[in-house]
Structure 1
Amino acid sequence: MTQADDRILETLADSDLILSPRILSANTDYSRHYLSTRLGKLRDAGLVDRVDEGLYRITDRGTAYLEGNLSADVLENENI
């Protein structure tokens, strides 16, 4: 997990919206390309869902991670 991953999850959770990498980029210090790459990793880990092409929302697993109920160590062992 990276600092960007935390920002992505926090932004999705705080907004409670379905967002694109472009919108996330406009609200963070990361490029759209980098966020697209990280969103793919977060999707593979089950922390975000791709609702449609280029649109993402946080999952219950992502919320559990933010709340401290899913450790980064567990995700590291899953190669995130």
Structure 2
Amino acid sequence: MRQSGTWMTIWDDRILEIIRNEDAGRVGDLAERDGIRISQSSVSRRCGKLADHGLLKPLGNGVYTITDRGKAYLDEEYDAENEVYLNGGSSLDAPSTSESTEP
């Protein structure tokens, strides 16, 4: 089961799924899809929120691509609420938390 964040809506999963299947998505095109029943401005806000949480990456001009973190979320390998990978998984776009403290 996907571990969605309390900040997420049902539209977020659909947006992520569409962008994953098409490699990138433009806000205007997403808003015109049959499976998306929210306005273009709402799609834009949702894409921005998904980007803020690292699931999408803005490419400019209202175009977004899915990140490795977004793919992991769709594959049930990432907890969007706690922003952690499940089962010790990791990804290239995950922030690095290991720094050497040796002198």
What TM-score comes out, normalization by structure 1 length?
0.84
Q: Which runs of 5+ in 2 are unaligned?
A: 1-7, 84-103
Aligned residue number for residue 77 of structure 2: 69
Match of 1:51 among 19, 42, 59: 59
CA distance in 2, matches of 1:15, 1:43: 17
CA drift at 1:72? 3.6
Q: 2-side partners of 1:15 and 1:54: how far apart?
A: 15
Q: Which residue of 2 aligns with 1:24?
A: 30
Superposition deviation, residue 40 in structure 1: 0.8
Could you list the runs of 5+ residues in structure 1 that have no partner in the other structure?
76-80
Match of 1:36 in 2: 44
* Cα distance in structure 2, aligned partners of 1:24 and 1:63: 18
Larger Rg: 2
**Does 2:25 match 1:14?**
no
User: Which runs of at least 4 in structure 1 moved beyond 3 Å after TM superposition?
Assistant: none
SS at match of 2:25: coil
The Cα of 1:33 is off from its aligned counterpart by: 0.5
Query: TM-score, normalised on structure 2?
Result: 0.67
Higher share of residues assigned helix: 1
Matched, 1:2 2:9: yes
Matched residues in 1 for 2:69 and 2:49: separation?
14
2:101 corresponding residue in structure 1: none
Q: Percent identity?
A: 41
Q: Which amino acid aligns with 1:3?
A: I
2:98 paired residue number: none
Say what the alpha-carbon RMSD is for the aligned residues: 1.2
